[in-house]
Amino acid sequence: MRHLMSPLDFSVEELDQLFDLANDIEANMEKYSRACHGKKLATCFYEPSTRTRLSFESAMLGLGGSVIGFSEASSSSASKGESVSDTIRVISCFADICAMRHPKEGAPKVAAERSSIPVINAGDGGHQHPTQTLTDLLTIRSLKGRLHHFTIGLCGDLKFGRTVHSLINALARYEGIKFIFISPRELMVPDYVTDMLKERNIPYEEVIRLESIMPQLDLLYMTRVQRERFFNEEDYVRLKDFYILDKAKMKLAGPDMLVLHPLPRVNEISVEVDDDPRAVYFKQVQYGVYVRMALILTLLNIRVDEREGEKICLT
Ligand code: CP
């Protein structure tokens, strides 16, 4: 049995297979529409979510399975003091696979250690968000045709943004990646991330101004300032609108640069950018469903026969 706690839990080759499967699902939805018939996904979300929870649910329903779960800690027995370890042992009696989001870093890992079903980390505190990274990588690979030889700018809250930490870890395994970190000093990428890049001789720059580096970028990954992780509201208010990507800044970028964002967006991308063909953050959401479908099939060891569309269980 496998869990997914970090994007590094899959080798580069396994990721390629996962993305091939996601692309096949995108092209042949009907073929996969009964692949998880009789299987249940539990979505255990102790923190708010729109995309991740609903795209997991949409993915399982698209595979012909069913979904149970809760969307806030207050409506689960966590509010009565139940531990994550006990909750997952209970959920293991009800479902075949679980996607868990938790405000505490490492909580899904604790659950995985006590679980008898696969557990997927759907975001743990400011730590990791591996399925967002799978979404980001599938989007880049599908729209650019490769995952190597890019200059990528990551902009905004690089300190608390778990999607950023997961994406850097994952992209660092591909050839010819250069990172440009764009943030105010208070929200710079943590030292443990830059130490990893230094150790592996992976080039990176840290800058404050977005305008100056726009012409160099193949990819721009915008992020929101993570209000929920700030210790005081004053700091959040001071930093929240530090970057606003607008049409004027987009004019500084190349014609093929792609703008990604894990969403939700607050003010950091002006809505006037949405119609620019380089803005792909809503396409990214759709890729998130395909890659979660591929992930569910992979973790449940279900393969769909190429010709007949018949489900083959590999367990
Ligand atoms: N990208 C993302 O994790 O969005 P949600 O918080 O809405 O799930």
Q: Which of 53, 101, 102, 141 is catalytic?
A: 101
- Sorted by where each begins, the domain ranges of the chain are 7-127+288-314, 130-284
Over residues 68-107, the pLDDT tens digits come to 999 999 999 999 999 999 999 999 999 999 999 999 999 9
C-alpha distances in angstroms, 310 versus 18, 30, 34, 184, 303? 19, 11, 8, 53, 9
User: How far is Cα 97 from Cα 250, in angstroms, rounded to an integer?
Assistant: 42
Do 273 and 249 contact (CB within 8 A), yes or no? no
Confidence of residue 307 (pLDDT cuts 50, 70, 90): low
Give me the architecture of the 7-127+288-314 domain, per CATH: 3-Layer(aba) Sandwich (3.40)
Q: How confident is the model over 246-266, as a mean pLDDT? A: 97
Do 216 and 256 contact (CB within 8 A), yes or no? no
**Could you tell me the distance, in angstroms and rounded to a whole number, from the CA of residue 181 to the centre of ligand 1?**
21
Over residues 88-98, the pLDDT tens digits come to 999 999 999 99
Do 294 and 22 contact (CB within 8 A), yes or no? yes
Q: Which residues contact 157 (CB under 8 A, 6 or more apart)?
A: 164, 183, 187, 223, 224, 225, 226, 239
Task: Establish whether 52 is a catalytic residue.
Answer: yes
Over residues 115-151, the pLDDT tens digits come to 999 999 999 988 899 999 999 999 999 999 999 999 9
In this predicted structure, the answer to whether residue 314 has a pLDDT above a threshold of 70 is no
**Could you tell me the distance, in angstroms and rounded to a whole number, from the CA of residue 122 to the centre of ligand 1?**
9
Task: Establish whether 198 is a catalytic residue.
Answer: no
CATH number among 3.40.1010.10, 2.40.110.10, 3.40.50.1370, 3.30.565.60, domain 130-284: 3.40.50.1370
Residue type, 91: I
User: How far is Cα 256 from Cα 147, in angstroms, rounded to an integer?
Assistant: 15
User: How far is Cα 212 from Cα 180, in angstroms, rounded to an integer?
Assistant: 11
Q: How confident is the model over 48-60, as a mean pLDDT? A: 97
- What local confidence, expressed as pLDDT, does residue 113 receive? 97
**Could you tell me the distance, in angstroms and rounded to a whole number, from the CA of residue 261 to the centre of ligand 1?**
10
User: How far is Cα 24 from Cα 313, in angstroms, rounded to an integer?
Assistant: 18
The count of other CB atoms within 10 Å of the CB of residue 254 is: 11
Task: Establish whether 165 is a catalytic residue.
Answer: no
| pTM higher than the cut 0.75 | yes
Task: Establish whether 101 is a catalytic residue.
Answer: yes
Pocket probe mutation, ligand 1, options 52, 134, 221, 281, max atoms within 8 Å of Cβ: 52
- What local confidence, expressed as pLDDT, does residue 37 receive? 97
With 0-12 / 13-18 / 19 or more C-beta atoms within 10 angstroms meaning exposed / middle / buried, residue 65 is: buried
